Amino acid sequence: MSSEDTATEDRIRDAIANPKNMGEMADADAVGTVGSPDCGDMLRMWLKFSEKDGRKVIDRASFQSFGCQTAIAVASVATELLAGKSIEEAMKLEANDLSSPLGALPPMKIHCGQMVEGALREALEAEERAKSGESMAPETPIQPSIPADSTLLGRISGPPTGGVSGGKLRVVKLDPAETGD
């Protein structure tokens, strides 16, 4: 293992041990939730906006990760670097930008960063929909064919609909109302 790989592992371990901005944000303006049908993990991100120098920027971001430690590390550093970014700037950030403070993720963990990107994009799109007067909820129910009494993991591992693609991973957008909190 190279010293760079070791440094990345150390940074991931530190971020997991001391995650920043973890937890639900009660006064959030937008929320995005995604799940990965491949590994069964899911992640939710909340955004709060404010006005700065006449433009709307992300005031703060928070997250919850269900099932994945690496996603916690990426989301932790991502929520820190999102502060102060406009929607347009945040939309341009890809998984490797969001995880960059940790160093290059190992190949098996790249999809963890893509899940953070997916949750961010979902929250940004929710904000854009709200701005244009639409509901924050997705236009179509997610996976309506899955029984209501199925588990959360069952819901996110069902047939994907309308997800964003990232390499081999298909990130499935979830309706926050469907996740039961």
Using CB under 6 A as the criterion, which residues of the chain lie in contact with ligand FES when the complex forms? 36, 39, 41, 68, 70-71, 111-112, 115
Active site residue 39: yes
41 vs 125 by CB, closer to ligand FES? 41
Selecting among 16, 39, 81, 137, the annotated active-site residue is 39
- Closest contact distance (angstroms) between CB of 170 and ligand FES is 12
Q: How far is CA 27 from CA 49, 93, 133, 166, in A?
A: 10, 24, 19, 30
Selecting among 61, 112, 119, 156, the annotated active-site residue is 112
- Closest contact distance (angstroms) between CB of 98 and ligand FES is 13
Q: Which two tokens stand for residue 62?
A: 């928070």
Q: H helices within the chain, ranges in order?
A: 3-17, 69-82, 87-91, 95-98, 110-131, 152-156
- Closest contact distance (angstroms) between CB of 155 and ligand FES is 16
Burial of 77 (0-12, 13-18, 19+ CB in 10 A): buried
Instruction: Please enumerate in sequence order all residues whose Cβ is within 8 A of that of 9, keeping only pairs 6 or more positions apart, or say none.
Output: none
31 vs 72 by CB, closer to ligand FES? 72
37 vs 101 by CB, closer to ligand FES? 37
Q: Which two tokens stand for residue 181?
A: 């909190």
Active site residue 112: yes
| Active site residue ranges | 39, 112
